[in-house]
Amino acid sequence: MKRGTTAIRRLSPWLVAASLVSPFTLAQETPQTLSQAEFGQCIGKLKGRAMEAGVTPEVAQNVLDQVTFLDRVIELDRRQPEFTTTFADYLNRRVNDARIEKGRELLDEHADLLAKVTRETGVPAPYLVAFWGLETNFGSYFGKMSVPSALATLACDPRRSDYFSGELISALRIIDEGAIPPEQMEGSWAGAMGHVQFMPSVFLRYAVDADNDGKRDLWHSIPDAMMSAGNFLQNLGWNGDYRWGREVLLPENFDYSLAGLKNEQALSEWRKLNIKDAFGNKLPNADIEASLLVPAGHEGPAFLVYHNFHVIMGWNRSEFYAIAVGHLADRIAGAGGLQNPPPEDLPRLSREDIEALQSALNQRGYESGTPDGILGPATRGAIRDFQKDQNRIADGYPDPGLFEALQIKLKEAEASNT
């Protein structure tokens, strides 16, 4: 066992792992590290657990004897959100002209492979390429962190020890099956790996040897990576008969209390409310269930999202991420940009701003819950109630006018495109 530091990229797909990602920019909290003796004791216990789980003694001993305690991993794990990221900033950074163009090139280059994945899993090729683009920019960056060392570090940290101990054991099983040598197993600071950034437990369940070379290789084999992504999405419940969702136009005086993932209605019911598609046409008179999302408030785009949107959120729980995947897939398939792009001049809010907002709403009788700096459903509901009473558009979005009405000075009114 050794000690050291290294650099890293962000975590991605799987439910616990994805919950570490937030639409906030990050500030660091001072981490507490383990002594060499404490780390050694922890590794000794992990060796025993790994062998009990079926990892061969040779792999358990040899790999864990070489792991390094990475202070940088603890620092990254302790980062706390300070400022929100607006929807415009999030989407523009992830769905840009360069990524769309590259995605279309790869869609053509790997057409036969992607068609095979679609036949076997039901997931259309543009979605597979979109996930690939968002996760690693089409394989251009997997992360440079030693996955065994990163996971050992997190497994020996008390915050989420059980979860990361399980991921470490899964990583050892991947090494045991010969998928990759331990010194080549690199990825994100939290252990996500390869072209599509699978966590080790997801790799074990869903990775596929699509090129039939005898190993599941998500680092060097694009066929393995694409088939594995399709297999994962299929098992999450992907429905090949439907798209992810669509941009829509809302009528004047629309009741924004109907927005939100939890309010699902048949597309035919949304049609009755005079919601149109992005080009002003009537929606299909269909029974497919859909929810309405307005991620940038009433001034930004609106989306009706379907079952597959929830499947995308099984990969990464962020609504922003799921919209980005769907929109990037549409663009790669040849569609144009949003008809109503999100405004780019909205401020990024700090946790202090949101806590002040929650306190002000509570003081006025609009119950937003205990101030915690997080824009959850209770806070958005309180905002909506206040907006109604102020004869404002009640979209539940914390725009600058809301803070002005509540006489709150923003900590830092920083535009989303800076």
pLDDT per position as a tens digit, 269-322: 999 999 999 999 999 999 999 999 999 999 999 999 999 999 999 999 999 999
290, β-bridge pairs: 265
195: which 2 tokens? 């072209």
Query: Which CATH fold topology does 347-415 show?
Result: Muramoyl-pentapeptide Carboxypeptidase; domain 1 (1.10.101)
Question: Measured between alpha carbons, how far is 116 from 120 in angstroms, rounded to an integer?
Answer: 6
265: which 2 tokens? 């209605």
What pLDDT score does 376 carry? 85
Res. 180: pLDDT tops 70: yes
Question: Measured between alpha carbons, how far is 138 from 106 in angstroms, rounded to an integer?
Answer: 9
What pLDDT score does 3 carry? 43
- How do residues 28-70 score in pLDDT, each as one tens digit? 454 567 888 999 999 999 999 999 999 999 999 999 999 999 9
| Residue 233 contacts residue 208 (beta carbons within 8 Å) | no
Mean pLDDT confidence for 179-200: 98
Place 12 in a pLDDT band, splitting at 50, 70 and 90.
very low
Mean pLDDT confidence for 227-248: 98
What pLDDT score does 13 carry? 43
| Residue 192 contacts residue 199 (beta carbons within 8 Å) | yes
- Buried b / exposed e along 206-215 (16+ C-beta atoms within 10 A): bbbbbbeeeb
CA triplet 36, 54, 147: central angle to 5 degrees?
Answer: 45
Query: Which CATH fold topology does 2-82+142-207 show?
Result: Helicase, Ruva Protein; domain 3 (1.10.8)
Helices (H) and strands (E) in the chain, counts: 18, 13
Question: Measured between alpha carbons, how far is 325 from 130 in angstroms, rounded to an integer?
Answer: 6
Question: Measured between alpha carbons, how far is 192 from 136 in angstroms, rounded to an integer?
Answer: 11
| Residue 318 contacts residue 18 (beta carbons within 8 Å) | yes
Please state the domain extents for the chain. Answer: 2-82+142-207, 347-415
What pLDDT score does 31 carry? 53
Strand pairing category for 2-4 and 68-70: parallel
Place 78 in a pLDDT band, splitting at 50, 70 and 90.
confident
> For residues 11 and 75, which has the higher predicted lDDT (pLDDT)?
75
- How do residues 82-116 score in pLDDT, each as one tens digit? 778 899 999 999 999 999 999 999 999 999 999 99
What pLDDT score does 412 carry? 63
What three-state secondary structure class fits 302? strand
Res. 142: pLDDT tops 80: yes
Res. 220: pLDDT tops 50: yes
Question: Measured between alpha carbons, how far is 323 from 310 in angstroms, rounded to an integer?
Answer: 10
